[in-house]
Amino acid sequence: MKAVILAGGEGRRLRPYTLTVPKPMVPILNKPLLEYTIDLLKSQGIRDIVITTCYKADTIRSHFKDGRRHGVSISYLEEPFPLGTAGGLFRARVRFKEPILVMSGDAFTDLKLQDVISYHFRKKARMTLVTKEVSNPAGYGVCHTDSMGRLIEFREKPENWIGDEVNTGIYVLDPILLDEYHREGQVDFSKDLIPELLASDERVFAYRTNAYWRDIGSPDQYKHAREDVMAGTIAAPFLSDLSMKGEPFMTKIRVSCPKKKKPIVFAKLMETVPSFWSSGEVVFRDQGGGRTKIINDPERGFIIYSKAQRKQQSKKLAEYYGEKIKNMAKGVEAYE
């Protein structure tokens, strides 16, 4: 099955993070959100991926290229201007000959996608929405289904609502609908297509999930997503291994730090967004390869372990973080 990731949005609600990059490229622990979605697809056997782009499209293209480096095949649908969540698919409808999986570019999830696809075919649906119960449906599309899971009512971001089952922006779609309900220009799944399908009594079903899902649409949600990864709330096979295994060369150094300054220095290390942390250690992944673990040494300060594929690289990493800690210690007041 082909997957389409909707990555053309500007992400105004997520400013200032999206002033320089499109919303799907904001990093979660030094890795773009979009890369997590691609890893999720690949981990579940979906390797033919189309990405819709518009705002700062070159940022996405230059990072992922044709996808081979990530073990997938990626092509692009570049929109000349924002076409909404569905407009790009309508515009390129001739490219889709079989059911497609559509994923919002700002969805962060560990959903079992093959279960959704199986459900779609089992229900003989023309479109399937993935839904989830949330504590506060404000700002989402609220879904009501019958006892068989068929969608019978859908209200996009209502001021008042009944129920807590919302649309996640993840769909399985019969591409014939793109011809039968063809529209030009800006088209939105929630505002346009879904209401029209329901009005035409099409077989639209909801797959209710209990999997982890978060819409990275605001600074607050973005913050929670990063915390969820570090806390292990989202623990899926597609998440990168954050252990210190794999690299053959290791450099170990000790860095002294006054005991009263250590809590402040450790807090500042956390501000630089590590790949992993606990109460006594942090792990950083270097973009050029290699990893560094910094451990609290109760007696002297901190112990730094840097591992890499080359001995010189591991040494440079350890020295870099050693100097970083020293400079941090110089610039902070003692914690009383």
Measured CA to CA in angstroms, residue 47 lies from 2, 115, 226, 240, 316 at distances of 8, 17, 26, 18, 36
Rounded Cα–Cα distance for residues 233 and 216 (Å)? 15
Instruction: Kindly state whether residue 242 falls inside one of the protein's structural domains.
Output: no
The pLDDT score that the predictor gives to residue 268 is 78
Domain identity same for 164 and 292: no
Question: Which of 231, 263, 287 is the last residue in one of the domains?
Answer: 231
Q: Which two tokens stand for residue 314?
A: 């591991």
Instruction: Kindly state whether residue 240 falls inside one of the protein's structural domains.
Output: no
**For 73-95, what is the mean pLDDT?**
88
Domain identity same for 227 and 253: no
Are 43 and 13 in contact, with CB atoms under 8 Å apart?
no
The pLDDT score that the predictor gives to residue 43 is 87
Q: How confident is the model at residue 241 (pLDDT cuts 50, 70, 90)?
A: very low
Angle at 217 between CA 141 and CA 184, to 5 degrees: 60
Rounded Cα–Cα distance for residues 283 and 304 (Å)? 10
Instruction: Kindly state whether residue 236 falls inside one of the protein's structural domains.
Output: no
Domain interval for residue 42 = 2-231
Instruction: Kindly state whether residue 275 falls inside one of the protein's structural domains.
Output: yes
Instruction: Kindly state whether residue 239 falls inside one of the protein's structural domains.
Output: no
Rounded Cα–Cα distance for residues 164 and 279 (Å)? 36
Domain identity same for 91 and 179: yes
Q: Is the pLDDT reported for residue 208 higher than 90?
A: yes
Q: How confident is the model at residue 246 (pLDDT cuts 50, 70, 90)?
A: low
Domain identity same for 153 and 281: no
Q: Is the pLDDT reported for residue 123 higher than 90?
A: yes
Rounded Cα–Cα distance for residues 35 and 323 (Å)? 31
Domain identity same for 224 and 256: no
Question: Which of 172, 199, 231 is the last residue in one of the domains?
Answer: 231
Domain identity same for 67 and 116: yes
Rounded Cα–Cα distance for residues 15 and 155 (Å)? 27
68-72, 152-156, 330-334: segment of lowest average pLDDT: 330-334
Q: How confident is the model at residue 172 (pLDDT cuts 50, 70, 90)?
A: very high
The per-residue pLDDT of the chain, averaged, comes to 84
Taking the C-alpha atoms of 74, 60, 78 and 91 in order, what is their torsion angle to the nearest 10 degrees?
Answer: 60
Rounded Cα–Cα distance for residues 147 and 121 (Å)? 18
End-to-end CA distance of the chain: 59
Domain identity same for 226 and 254: no
Rounded Cα–Cα distance for residues 137 and 8 (Å)? 24
Instruction: Kindly state whether residue 157 falls inside one of the protein's structural domains.
Output: yes
The pLDDT score that the predictor gives to residue 244 is 47
The count of structural domains within the chain is 2
* 3-state SS track over the chain: CEEEEECCCCCHHHCCCCCCCCHHHCECCCCEHHHHHHHHHHHCCCCEEEEEECCCHHHHHHHHCCCHHHCCEEEEEECCCCCHHHHHHHHCHHHCCCCEEEEECCEEECCCHHHHHHHHHHCCCCEEEEEEECCCCCCCEEEEECCCCEEEEEEECCCCCCCCEEEEEEEEECCHHHHHCCCCCCCCHHHHHHHHHHHCCCCEEEEECCCCEEECCCHHHHHHHHHHHHHCCCCCCCCCCCCCCCCCEEEEEEEECCCCCHHHHHHHHHHCCCCEECCCEEEEECCCCCEEEEEEECCCEEEEEEEECCHHHHHHHHHHHHHHHHHHHHCCCCCC
Q: Is the pLDDT reported for residue 102 higher than 90?
A: yes
Q: Which two tokens stand for residue 173?
A: 């779609």
CATH code of the domain in which 325 resides: 3.30.310.50
Domain identity same for 171 and 291: no
Question: Which of 183, 205, 231 is the last residue in one of the domains?
Answer: 231
Are 281 and 308 in contact, with CB atoms under 8 Å apart?
no
Q: Is the pLDDT reported for residue 89 higher than 90?
A: no
Domain identity same for 193 and 137: yes
The pLDDT score that the predictor gives to residue 336 is 45
Query: At a CB cut-off of 8 Å and minimum separation 6, what does 47 contact?
Result: 41, 71, 72, 73
Backbone torsion region of residue 232, taken as left when φ is above 0, otherwise alpha when ψ lies between -120 and 50, otherwise beta: left
pLDDT in tens, 17-75: 677 778 888 877 667 889 889 989 998 889 999 999 888 888 898 889 999 888 899 99
What is the β-pairing status of strands 100-104 and 141-145?
unpaired
Domain identity same for 181 and 36: yes
Rounded Cα–Cα distance for residues 1 and 72 (Å)? 13
Rounded Cα–Cα distance for residues 325 and 232 (Å)? 26
Q: Is the pLDDT reported for residue 124 higher than 60?
A: yes
Q: Is the pLDDT reported for residue 242 higher than 50?
A: no
**For 183-205, what is the mean pLDDT?**
91
**Which range has the top average pLDDT, 48-62, 111-125, 147-161?**
111-125
Domain identity same for 125 and 184: yes
Instruction: Kindly state whether residue 138 falls inside one of the protein's structural domains.
Output: yes
Domain identity same for 210 and 173: yes
The pLDDT score that the predictor gives to residue 274 is 56
Q: To which residue do tokens 């170990």 refer?
A: 252
**For 172-201, what is the mean pLDDT?**
91
CATH code of the domain in which 46 resides: 3.90.550.10
Instruction: Kindly state whether residue 173 falls inside one of the protein's structural domains.
Output: yes
